Amino acid sequence: MQNVFDLAAANLLAPTVLFFALGILASVLRSDLTIPEAVAKGISLYLMMSIGFKGGAAVSSQGVDTTMFLALIAGAVLSGVIPFVAFGLLRATTGLPQIDAAAVAAHYGSISIVTFLAATQALEWSGIGSEGYMVAVAAAMETPAIAAALILASNGARRFDGNTMREVLLNGSIVVLVGAFFIGVITGEEGLESIAPFIVAPFTGVLCLFLLDMGLIAGRGLKEGRNHLTWPLILFGLYMPLVGAAFGAIASMLVGLSVGGTCLMITLCASASYIAVPAALRLALPEARPAIYLPLSLGVTFPFNLTIGIPLYLAIATFLH
Amino acid sequence: MQNVFDLAAANLLAPTVLFFALGILASVLRSDLTIPEAVAKGISLYLMMSIGFKGGAAVSSQGVDTTMFLALIAGAVLSGVIPFVAFGLLRATTGLPQIDAAAVAAHYGSISIVTFLAATQALEWSGIGSEGYMVAVAAAMETPAIAAALILASNGARRFDGNTMREVLLNGSIVVLVGAFFIGVITGEEGLESIAPFIVAPFTGVLCLFLLDMGLIAGRGLKEGRNHLTWPLILFGLYMPLVGAAFGAIASMLVGLSVGGTCLMITLCASASYIAVPAALRLALPEARPAIYLPLSLGVTFPFNLTIGIPLYLAIATFLH
Amino acid sequence: MQNVFDLAAANLLAPTVLFFALGILASVLRSDLTIPEAVAKGISLYLMMSIGFKGGAAVSSQGVDTTMFLALIAGAVLSGVIPFVAFGLLRATTGLPQIDAAAVAAHYGSISIVTFLAATQALEWSGIGSEGYMVAVAAAMETPAIAAALILASNGARRFDGNTMREVLLNGSIVVLVGAFFIGVITGEEGLESIAPFIVAPFTGVLCLFLLDMGLIAGRGLKEGRNHLTWPLILFGLYMPLVGAAFGAIASMLVGLSVGGTCLMITLCASASYIAVPAALRLALPEARPAIYLPLSLGVTFPFNLTIGIPLYLAIATFLH
Amino acid sequence: MKTHSKKRIEIMIESPLLGRITETLDAHGVTGYTVLPALAGRGEDGAWHRDGVIGRAGSLVMVISIIDADRVQSVLEPLFKLVKGQIGIVTVSDVEVIRPDRF
Amino acid sequence: MKTHSKKRIEIMIESPLLGRITETLDAHGVTGYTVLPALAGRGEDGAWHRDGVIGRAGSLVMVISIIDADRVQSVLEPLFKLVKGQIGIVTVSDVEVIRPDRF
Amino acid sequence: MKTHSKKRIEIMIESPLLGRITETLDAHGVTGYTVLPALAGRGEDGAWHRDGVIGRAGSLVMVISIIDADRVQSVLEPLFKLVKGQIGIVTVSDVEVIRPDRF
Ligand SMILES: Nc1ncnc2c1ncn2[C@@H]1O[C@H](COP(=O)(O)O)[C@@H](O)[C@H]1O
Ligand SMILES: Nc1ncnc2c1ncn2[C@@H]1O[C@H](COP(=O)(O)O)[C@@H](O)[C@H]1O
Ligand SMILES: Nc1ncnc2c1ncn2[C@@H]1O[C@H](COP(=O)(O)O)[C@@H](O)[C@H]1O
Ligand code: NA
Ligand code: NA
Ligand code: NA
């Protein structure tokens, strides 16, 4: 137990978390600090490329086994199942209309890559290794949640056209993540070495800058969304990660992941999307209100996971092994 | 004396200064070379983050003493006092109308962070350490000059509303600088180590790119401003840094700064703002003409400080100890 | 022979080439992946600055000899001569109208800096050194081809005004490349050391990101251009590099370049411009259709050189020594 | 220089929908359009700002298309259908052009 | 498809003033606006270019707001007061919209 | 608040030509103009997109200039000569301004 608190305290004082807090603070104080859109996109591409490549290079030296396929399947299934749970909880506790509830549910089935990155960092600081293919699991979990939400929104009737699904599956972030993963698998440790000074060494620093931006956006979202975020919704944003975490923990045990892999799987299940899903829903479910789902995912769940969630998930993963 | 010339010559042939010269040259030759706005802003954020963090980490290992508070107070006071001197000189020698003279004066009370960065580099190359809190002093010197200018512009009548002052105090650059400083203080050397490959190793190279951009902007500013820059004004842009430097030198002695700290304090007093103050004056003193103060600060005083000023200030600081 | 195949295979599986392929793939699958314009421009500036500086620093330690001047002259002459050959081949085999043929010819006389960069990487991986001044040769080869094309387009009549030529000569990329080259010459190894963590260490990684972007643009260009690219044109895009390579090989021998220098000279002659020349032709030869020359240069010749060309040119250079 | 009357359609639309808008314009024989980036805005649904945002949701672009007056009605109908449930507005105004046959 | 006449206010204003412009629009019951970035320009006070510039001074943005004709006068007055001493211009033109009640 | 009729010239032009357009405007006594970036577009010659592109070829900018109606003809002529062989279009529309002497 003591360990968990130590970990949580250390985590709260990591540069990454502090830069996120700085972003929130700047936003609350109405500073004009902003990160240009192009720079934010560039950083995001960099992070995808880096995490994908590193995962792929790890797989190339760790080798492929059945656990990998089980983990991929488990991830995809959870991404499709968790929205149903989230939807039930939302309908029972928050009074959100069906469409909005389905939209929010989609976010919690899908995943947040930055949360995943932060968990990877925490593992690194704790000196715990993990399965390289977990980034592929992350990619596999982005989309099924959206299909689930469309079913939920329309009482089971088919609403989604193939075109929208293609757009979701091939969104830029996933393509870079998965592409870099395969390039990492192909070129292996040698390839990693040749570009490590770019994708490995400065990684944590770039992540700090990115989290500064996330803080700014989250703060802005909270300001915009404060009229829509009722207490039951905020509570949902805080306990739903734990519900997701429970699913993730069980799945990890069944699949047989390592401590690190379990921590990452739990984090994926606990995290909520804020890039891919919102864009997809504007196409597939335009009636759902972004003013609800964006602040909830970005302003409530993301900070929770970043500060308290990740150390907790790591503690759970350690406890389970 | 010999040493000063050696230092000045070495400084003139540093990559940073040469990239600045390249920017000026490209601009004079009407090349279409430009650095996209988003990239320039991104680099500027990076430099603020880096310098702030490094200063904070240094403070965390050097510890806090009364000198720090004295230096902060001295900086803020000088920022408020120097504009009065500058205003007097401008009115006596240049024939600028009251409003324009007040606006120019504000720039010389405030500071230029890039000049500060260049001075930090010069110290590093000379192997001279400095007080980490000097970046906090830099931040403290940004704003008082603007208040002084508003008093000067209106013969003592209050002109500034709180809203404008808040905007100035919380402008993006200051928030990142000060925020990163505190994060550096909190996370200390350990934090610095984790992000050093991002904020320390590539620093000089990034500064070169930034100075290339500064050269382009300065060259453009000189072209635009050549009709407004009279000889008395240009002379002011060259001797005013020395006047500011004298104030800085005296204050450093009184406060008891080290050689490095003295050099930085002199540089701050000698430098003129070209980001925060111009933006603030467009809100608080719109009648003042940007076509005068921008080219003067960016096209005359900044190059002077970068090439001749900094080695001179370092020589003075060494001489005084 | 075996060696060539090994080299070609190794080259095809280098991270740089794979990221280019990823870009093409993403574009073909109609992913919404894009690199913001500002980021792409920033990366391009970075690559110019890096390659120019490194070349200059190498010259400063290798010293200047007559070979350098011969190489510069040879490059400039070839840039002006190759378009005539290309024009003849185009008129004989493709049925392109005179103006379009002249425009295409200009691209093949001029050079592609990214192809040059990729060749530099290949040399580095093979542990082969090269003359630092080859980047200056690259700069010297950008422009003559355009003048040649204007002569070809107008049956020898003078069409170009000095203003357009100035714009071409002083385009941003060349200014940074040449400027950084001279700064490298002046500051030498010491200067290089001070900014190496920025311009040397992350270079390959940044190049990967850039080639991802190039892949996206090439893929888009191929889609747009598929109606204009006839088979004879596509064939021209594949054999013309070899024709250029032959010229480059002969010139290298006459000038007396090293293995590495020969490989780079061949690569320059074999590569086709897609930045400087297209922009210049919109001003100087607006009747020529970009829908022909852009996809040909970017979608056919560039991928050919990147994958098959460079290992082949290296093999030729090795064979010739 | 003689000028000719045409219509200028200006569509402010949330970015994720841009592809559908241009497909609709293509499908209805519009001869061309130009897309401008927007930076920020405010409407009934609140304010938005482009800075720092990675995803395409929550920002707008502006599509401008010069078309023949005869075509306005047939284009407006499907455009409006598309924009109705989404975040966006469509306006039409009069402009003069030099080469009437291009639109 | 029936369209309705509205007014389009276009404000080109130096960036540091953007906040005051939108506050003024908000205060005068405007239902919405969109801000476009500008890249460069020239006026009486000389030319400017956005590239490479870090601060907000010395560049412009363009604010577009579709409003009801009845409201033009009451918005124009305070807008003009704001823009008068600053770098910027305001124009008004006619546009047609589909949903008149939105503006 | 009294407003005065002026003309708004809107030029969409491929980027490499921007310098010549502004030189032409300068040469014909236009009091000012503003340049907006464009993101993407489609015309007779196909579609283009700004993202990822380094060179200036193959993308457009939009130049807006408010001028006096008397000056339209004398500006339009050289503008059209410039744009004719290139990728670009010119439109003219009516706007109202507050300070008529500025244009
Ligand atoms: N009256 C208006 N004039 C100009 N732009 C508007 C107007 N109303 C809305 N917009 C733009 O359309 C977006 C969505 O509007 P809404 O659906 O009302 O929230 C806003 O954020 C603005 O960018
Ligand atoms: N007639 C005009 N048409 C379009 N934009 C203009 C015009 N006049 C001025 N501007 C814009 O407003 C800015 C400031 O104008 P000024 O105050 O006259 O220097 C210029 O830099 C242009 O961007
Ligand atoms: N009707 C139009 N409305 C708006 N923009 C257009 C129109 N036609 C062409 N454009 C723009 O002008 C560019 C070149 O047109 P074009 O020369 O027809 O290929 C296109 O890519 C568009 O950005
Ligand atoms: Na999840
Ligand atoms: Na100062
Ligand atoms: Na060539």
Residue pLDDT, tens place only, B206-226: 999 999 999 999 999 888 888
| Closest Cβ–Cβ partner in A22, A35, A205 for B198 | A205
Q: What is the pLDDT of residue C70?
A: 97
For chain C, the chains sharing at least 3 beta-carbon pairs closer than 8 angstroms are A, B, F
The span from the CA of A258 to the CA of A67, in Å, is 10
Atom of ligand 2 nearest to the CA of E45: 19
F-interface mutation test, from E7, E14, E42, E93, most F Cβ less than 10 A away: E42
* Token reading at C47: 């690559």
Instruction: Quote the strand ranges of F17-58, DSSP E.
Output: 33-37, 40-43, 46-49
The per-residue pLDDT of chain A, averaged, comes to 93
Q: What is the pLDDT of residue A158?
A: 59
The span from the CA of B313 to the CA of B300, in Å, is 17
Q: At what angle do helices B172-199 and A15-28 cross, to 10 degrees?
A: 170
End-to-end CA distance of chain B: 15
* A chain contacts of residue C127, beta-carbon cutoff 8 Å: none
CB contact, 8 Å: E16 with chain B? yes
CA-proximal residue: ligand 1, atom 17 (nearest): D87
pLDDT tier at B275 (50, 70, 90 boundaries)?
A: confident
Q: Is the pLDDT of residue A160 over 80?
A: no
- Which is nearest to C304 in space by CA: C24, C96, C84? C24
For residues C121-140, average pLDDT: 95
Q: Is the pLDDT of residue C291 over 80?
A: yes
Q: What is the pLDDT of residue A10?
A: 83
Say what percent of chain F tops pLDDT 70.
Answer: 99
The span from the CA of B289 to the CA of B296, in Å, is 12
Residues D8, D66 contacting (CB under 8 angstroms): yes
C-interface mutation test, from B20, B22, B199, B210, most C Cβ less than 10 A away: B22
Test site for ligand 2: of E87, E91, E93, most ligand atoms within 8 A of the Cβ? E87
**Residue E45 CB–ligand 2 contact under 6 Å:** yes
Q: What is the ipTM of this complex?
A: 0.95
Tell how many helices (H) and how many strands (E) occur in chain A.
17, 0
Which range in A158-162, C76-80, C162-166, C228-232 is most confidently predicted, on average pLDDT? C76-80
* F96 bridge partner residues: E92, F5
* E chain contacts of residue F66, beta-carbon cutoff 8 Å: 89, 91
Torsion angle (degrees, nearest 10) of CA B116, E49, D18, A33: 30
CB atoms within 10 A of CB D68: 19
| Closest Cβ–Cβ partner in E26, E32, E97 for D91 | E97
**Is there a contact between B204 and C183 if contact means CB atoms under 8 Å apart?**
no
Q: What is the pLDDT of residue C157?
A: 64
* C chain contacts of residue B13, beta-carbon cutoff 8 Å: 186-187
Residue burial B226-249, b: 16+ Cβ < 10 Å; e: rest = eebbeeebeebbbebbebbbebbb
For residues B42-46, average pLDDT: 97
Query: Any residues with CB less than 8 A from the CB of B138 and at least 6 apart, and which?
Result: B75, B111, B113, B116, B177, B268
Q: Is the pLDDT of residue C1 over 60?
A: no
Q: What distance in angstroms lies between residue F12's CA and the mean position of ligand 3's atoms?
A: 8
The span from the CA of F8 to the CA of E34, in Å, is 19
Instruction: Please report the number of interchain residue pairs, chain B to chain E, with beta-carbon separation below 8 angstroms.
Output: 59
Query: Any residues with CB less than 8 A from the CB of B288 and at least 6 apart, and which?
Result: B99, B100, B102, B103, B153, B281
* Token reading at C69: 């001047």
Residues A309, A270 contacting (CB under 8 angstroms): yes
**Residue F100 CB–ligand 2 contact under 6 Å:** no
For residues A27-54, average pLDDT: 95
Q: What is the pLDDT of residue C315?
A: 95
The span from the CA of A215 to the CA of A27, in Å, is 8
pLDDT tier at A154 (50, 70, 90 boundaries)?
A: confident
CA-proximal residue: ligand 3, atom 21 (nearest): F42
Q: What is the pLDDT of residue B21?
A: 97
**Cα dihedral sign, C70-C76-C80-C81:** positive
- Which is nearest to A50 in space by CA: A171, A206, A272? A206
The per-residue pLDDT of chain B, averaged, comes to 93
Q: What distance in angstroms lies between residue F11's CA and the mean position of ligand 3's atoms?
A: 11
Q: What is the pLDDT of residue A159?
A: 63
User: Which residues contact ligand 3 via a Cβ below 6 A?
Assistant: D 31-34, 64-66, 103; F 12, 41-45, 48, 60, 87, 89
The residue of chain A nearest to residue B186, with distances taken between CA atoms, is A13
* Token reading at A59: 């797989």
For chain B, the chains sharing at least 3 beta-carbon pairs closer than 8 angstroms are A, C, E
Q: Is the pLDDT of residue F38 over 60?
A: yes
DSSP C42-78: HHHHHHHHHHHHHHHHHHHHH---HHHHHHHHHHHHH
Residue burial A85-116, b: 16+ Cβ < 10 Å; e: rest = bbbebbbeebebebbbbbbbbbbbbbbbbbbb
DSSP B132-170: TTHHHHHHHTSSHHHHHHHHHHTTT-----HHHHHHHHT
CA-proximal residue: ligand 2, atom 2 (nearest): F32
Q: What distance in angstroms lies between residue D68's CA and the mean position of ligand 1's atoms?
A: 26
Residues D15, D57 contacting (CB under 8 angstroms): yes
**Residue F32 CB–ligand 2 contact under 6 Å:** yes
For residues F3-12, average pLDDT: 96
Q: What is the pLDDT of residue E85?
A: 85
Q: Length of chain E, please?
A: 103
For residues C116-135, average pLDDT: 95
Residues A83, A152 contacting (CB under 8 angstroms): yes
Q: Is the pLDDT of residue A121 over 80?
A: yes
CB atoms within 10 A of CB E72: 18
* Token reading at A145: 């949640």
Tell which wins on pLDDT, C191 or D46: C191
The span from the CA of A28 to the CA of D9, in Å, is 39
Residues B145, B109 contacting (CB under 8 angstroms): yes
CB contact, 8 Å: C34 with chain F? yes
pLDDT tier at B200 (50, 70, 90 boundaries)?
A: very high
Q: Length of chain C, please?
A: 321
CB atoms within 10 A of CB A169: 18
Query: Any residues with CB less than 8 A from the CB of B128 and at least 6 apart, and which?
Result: B259, B260, B263, B314
Instruction: Quote the strand ranges of chain E, DSSP E.
Output: 4-14, 33-37, 40-43, 46-49, 60-67, 88-97
The span from the CA of C82 to the CA of C86, in Å, is 6
Task: Give residue-wise pLDDT tens across range E88-101.
Answer: 999 999 999 998 88
Q: Is the pLDDT of residue C164 over 70?
A: yes
- Which is nearest to F40 in space by CA: F50, F25, F26? F50
- CA of E43, closest CA in chain D: separation in Å? 22
Record the pTM.
0.96
Query: Any residues with CB less than 8 A from the CB of A190 and at least 6 apart, and which?
Result: none
Query: Any residues with CB less than 8 A from the CB of B13 and at least 6 apart, and which?
Result: C186, C187
For chain D, the chains sharing at least 3 beta-carbon pairs closer than 8 angstroms are A, E, F
pLDDT tier at C20 (50, 70, 90 boundaries)?
A: very high
* B chain contacts of residue E86, beta-carbon cutoff 8 Å: 282, 286
- CA of B26, closest CA in chain C: separation in Å? 7
CB contact, 8 Å: E98 with chain B? no
Q: What distance in angstroms lies between residue C260's CA and the mean position of ligand 6's atoms?
A: 17
Residue burial E8-38, b: 16+ Cβ < 10 Å; e: rest = bbbbbbbbbbbebbbebbeeeebbbbbbbbb
**Residue D84 CB–ligand 1 contact under 6 Å:** no
Q: Is the pLDDT of residue E56 over 80?
A: no
